[in-house]
Amino acid sequence: MRRSSAAKLVIALLGLTAFQISGFAETPAAKSPIDAVLSRALLERGAMIACAAVDDDADTIKFLKISWERDIAAVKEDLQKAGYDDSAIHMLVDHLDIDKATPRFADRAALTAYCSTLGDWKMRWQLFLVSVPQFELRRVLDK
């Protein structure tokens, strides 16, 4: 009897957690196709920076961060050309902080486990260079 009560409690807690998390699923940022492109790119780049730390490659980490800053500068230009005013542009890009989006891990084993779930981040970086956020953003703006 005690076991079924514990199971019911676990199921209730899981249901409550799922309900609460579902409230976060559709943030105001997720409503904009432009923000969706930028958020996806931010998360991807953050993951790449985190995984570059596995190799202790400070130059690559610096390069990935600088390339993110350059991508955001290009995105701002694209949005201006598309007719967005400065306040709208700031609303779209100011929250895209690469340092906050880069996962941190308590130990090297956790970092290695995280990166192993992502696959070869260096290959993804090469593919990412072909599909930088500006290109996808331009497709969204053209619609």
Tell me the domain boundaries of the chain. Answer: 1-26, 32-142
> Is 96 or 28 the better-scoring residue by pLDDT?
96
CB contact at 8 A, 98 and 49 = yes
Dist CA 141 CA 29 (whole Å): 16
> Is 10 or 94 the better-scoring residue by pLDDT?
94
Dist CA 84 CA 34 (whole Å): 12
pLDDT in the model for residue 132: 61
Q: Would you say how long the chain is, in residues?
A: 143
pLDDT in the model for residue 9: 43
Q: Give 60-95 pLDDT, tens digit per residue.
A: 899 999 999 998 998 999 899 989 999 989 988 888
For the residues 54-64, what does the mean pLDDT come to? 90
For the residues 24-40, what does the mean pLDDT come to? 68
Q: Give 102-127 pLDDT, tens digit per residue.
A: 999 999 999 999 998 887 777 777 77
**Can you read off the two tokens belonging to residue 94?**
């100011």
Question: Residue type for 42, please?
Answer: L
Closest-CA residue to 48 (of 130, 125, 136): 125
pLDDT in the model for residue 19: 43
Dist CA 14 CA 18 (whole Å): 6
**Residues sharing a CB contact under 8 Å with residue 92, sequence separation 6 or more, in sequence order:** 32, 34, 35, 38, 79, 84
